[in-house]
Amino acid sequence: MANIKSAIKRISVTKTKNTQNRPVKTQISNEIKKFKTALAAKELKHAESQLNVVFSVLDAAALDNVIHKNKANRQKAKLAAELSKAQSKRTKKSA
């Protein structure tokens, strides 16, 4: 247990922030899972709409400093690349 007043406060603040941030991080992971599930099922229209939801959740989390803005941008780029790759595979098969 901390003895210094500022250390005691940091423990309290960290606990509070953790309880506030955990639901947001859970929502991020759930929305990403929904996107990847739609992508795996080859439902590209649904995956595209789900990607917009993921983008908005990531942007909101970055705005509230739940995650770093660069991490949000990195995840958005990675997921967009996955969708683009799936769409290009589909056009090659149909052509």
Q: Is 91 a domain residue? A: yes
Q: Measure the CA–CA gap between 25 and 68, rounded to whole angstroms.
A: 12
Average pLDDT, the chain: 95
Q: What angle do CA 67, 24, 15 make, to 5 degrees?
A: 80
Q: Is 16 a domain residue? A: no
Q: Where are the alpha helices (DSSP H) in 1-95?
A: 5-40, 44-63, 69-94
User: What tens digit of pLDDT does each residue of 20-62 get?
Assistant: 999 999 999 999 999 999 999 999 999 999 999 999 999 999 9
Q: Is 74 a domain residue? A: yes
Q: What percentage of the chain has pLDDT greater than the value 70?
A: 98
For residue 90, give its domain range.
34-95
Number of Cβ atoms within 10 Å of the Cβ of 75 = 18
Q: Is 14 a domain residue? A: no
Number of domains in the chain: 1
Q: Is 4 a domain residue? A: no
Q: Measure the CA–CA gap between 72 and 12, rounded to whole angstroms.
A: 27
